Copies of this chain bind each other. A is one copy, B any other.
Amino acid sequence: MIILFGVFVRYNEESDTHWVDYRKENNITSDIENDYYFRYPSFQDVHVMIFVGFGFLMTFLKRYSFGAVGFNFLVAAFGIQWALLMQGWFHSLDYTDGKIKIGIENLINADFCVAGCLIAYGAVLGKVSPVQLLVMTLFGVTLFAVEEYIILNVLHAKDAGGSMVIHTFGAYYGLSISWVLYRPNLDKSKHLNGSVYHSDVFAMIGTLFLWMFWPSFNSAIADHGDGQHRAAINTYLALASTVLTTVAMSSLFEKTGKLDMVHIQNSTLAGGVAVGTAAEFMLSPYGSLIVGFFCGIISTLGYIYFSPFLEEKLKIQDTCGIHNLHAMPGVIGGIVGAISAAAATNTVYGDLGLENTFDFTGPFAKRVPTIQGGYQAAGLCVALCFGIGGGIFVGLVLKLPIWGDPADENCFDDEIYWEVPEDEESVPPILAYNNHMIPNKHCTISKQSSHMPLISPLWEVSM
């Protein structure tokens, strides 16, 4: 990796010391017009989403918090380096000297690329080894870079918030892998495939940071000025609307009328996914609300009805429910983007505005909105194909018995990959020999039993 960076990667003109010369040559009046100041706040928000948002969102499992946040950290850190190279070759290659020139926008794009892989991680959470995750990321980033190049550069589709490029691709990539790696006996670790009170609160940290910073996600690489401004507003509205319908649906469709934390943690984010592609278009505020409204419904119903169906009938085990949070909303986002692009008019956008928003310049100067809508739809298909096809291929690679994946009964358990502190509370406080030791259904055999061979049986008051 270092060698590849040594050969290929350099600073671009805005992050190089020659900026001071570049400024003079291009009549840039102030340092503040460096792209850094346009994008850095959004970049940091996206960075938080990748590492804290995705990481903590997955801590909801009772004994897989280390794996959730730790492997997320590992995968993301590996992925952004590889993404800088792969995306660099496709997007930022300076043909005059064959070098990749990087600036703040490349860092954001690398984070975006990794987001696709982390979405995929959600489907296989707790069921794969860290090595498998790295392999998944290696291929995932590569596929992502190619897919992104086809969608954004060849088809010239717009996808500021990545509904297609990131979410649709990432989700179907993960679901396909999970389908190939189907474990019929996953029931053996069923007792660990659930949350405890505190782990649900930890997961809310992830949810909220994703939710709050999603406007930055969708606006991070949008056009300077009105583009970023509009993307933030649209995302803010779509997300607000999703929360309301999610809560309503969760309460209506649960038998007890109570709210389910799974929905609050996940479905509330669906609006941000679905408004991604169209975020910088003139979707209009009520358009954003409508998108968010329907996504809250679809995503919550997905958790209630569709996830069990996926698992039982289609043999897709989807730990975090990414089908409901990323796949369906991503596809909806692609469709919304295609429709709103096709419906764009000079009256609404203004002549200059239309050209600006869709970049109808250079080789694409003659394209009109209706045609653009078609290319947007084509982009969605490309994302789907790459996701499903790539996922099946990588799934087969991961099925090779060389990656050290956990046994069925060790899934969702940190113990096999982490030094887990011997919580005092995981040791039974009282050990009685005589008579009547009555295990209850929640008790599991303590892993510490080997330390105290004389005393048995031992039940864990698991944390």
Contacts and interface: CB of A to CB of B under 8 A. Distances in A.
A167 to B, nearest CB: 21
A-B interface, 9 closest residue pairs, ranked by CB to CB distance from nearest: A17-B353, A432-B432, A77-B243, A19-B226, A31-B225, A6-B286, A5-B286, A31-B224, A15-B229
A389 B301 CA distance: 42
Contact of A463 (B247, B264, B426): B426
Nearest to A20: B352
Given A20-B356, A428-B459, 8 more contacts: A17-B356, A32-B32, A32-B224, A40-B42, A103-B233, A424-B443, A434-B434, A440-B451
A289 B1 contact: yes
A200 interface: yes
Contacts of A261: 66, 70, 418-419, 421
Contacts of A38: 31-32, 37
Interface in A438-463: 438, 440-444, 446-448, 451-452, 455, 458-463
Q: How many copies of this chain does the complex contain?
A: 3
B426 A285 contact: no
Contact of A286 (B2, B16, B349, B446): B2
A256 B419 contact: yes
A450 B224 CA distance: 60
A418 B250 CA distance: 10
A440 B452 contact: yes
A29 to B, nearest CB: 7
Nearest to A355: B20
A44 B215 CA distance: 9
18 contacts: A5-B289, A11-B285, A17-B282, A29-B30, A40-B232, A41-B41, A48-B212, A51-B212, A52-B208, A63-B462, A81-B237, A258-B416, A424-B460, A426-B461, A428-B430, A428-B460, A432-B436, A461-B461
A416 B447 CA distance: 12
A229 B428 contact: no
A112 B77 CA distance: 26
Contact of A195 (B29, B37, B421): B421
A415 interface: yes
